[in-house]
Amino acid sequence: MNQDANAAQALAERAAQALYAGDRASQRFGIKITAIAPGEAQVAMRVSEDMLNGHQTCHGGLLFTLADSAFAFACNTHGDTVVAAGCSIDFLAPARSGDELLATAKELWRGGRSGLYEVVVSDQRGERLALFRGRSHRVSASP
């Protein structure tokens, strides 16, 4: 890795750590960052009993929250303050209590103050459970 790539990687890690430190929602759900790179993030979460909905599968809101956290960490890796403008999610298969979920976010595009990110949520068997897309909006440049 050259010097620029090293600097971008260090910036990505610092930004993710700073964001995670203040992110009580992600912390409370046991979401952990498992990988960070410029424009990319992977987070993990275990489905607990109190994440189940009335159908006794993981509430879609928690699958979304996991994906949205991955998206947030990925789109903030460049050092600017970036928020979500809009997101969509397609549910492919339900998650059950005890499942170990991974959400892997990667940047599809950035232009102007906007960006597009794709997040795949999968379980411990590698089965994909949800596909998420997020549109980011940069609200301020890095200090």
Contacts of 101 (CB under 8 A, 6+ apart): 44, 45, 46, 47, 63, 66, 95, 121, 122, 123, 124, 129
Contact between 91 and a copy of itself per CB under 8 A = yes
For the chain, give me the number of helices (H) and strands (E)?
3, 6
Contact between 65 and a copy of itself per CB under 8 A = yes
Contact between 55 and a copy of itself per CB under 8 A = yes
Q: Which of 1, 2, 4, 49 binds a copy of itself (CB under 8 A)?
A: 49
Contact between 60 and a copy of itself per CB under 8 A = yes
CB 97 to a copy of itself: min, Å: 10
Nearer to a copy of itself (CB atom), residue 8 or residue 73: 73
CA pair distance 35, 41, nearest whole angstrom: 6
Q: If you write DSSP's letter for every residue of 58-116 in order, what string do you get?
A: B-HHHHHHHHHHHHHHHHTTTSSEEEEEEEEEEE-S---TT-EEEEEEEEEEEETTEEE
Contact between 20 and a copy of itself per CB under 8 A = yes
Contact between 125 and a copy of itself per CB under 8 A = no
Neighbouring-strand partners of residue 130: 91, 121
Contact between 68 and a copy of itself per CB under 8 A = yes
Chain residues binding a copy of itself by CB under 8 A are: 18-28, 49-56, 58-62, 64-66, 68-69, 72, 76, 81, 83-94, 108-109, 111, 114, 116, 128, 131, 133, 135, 137
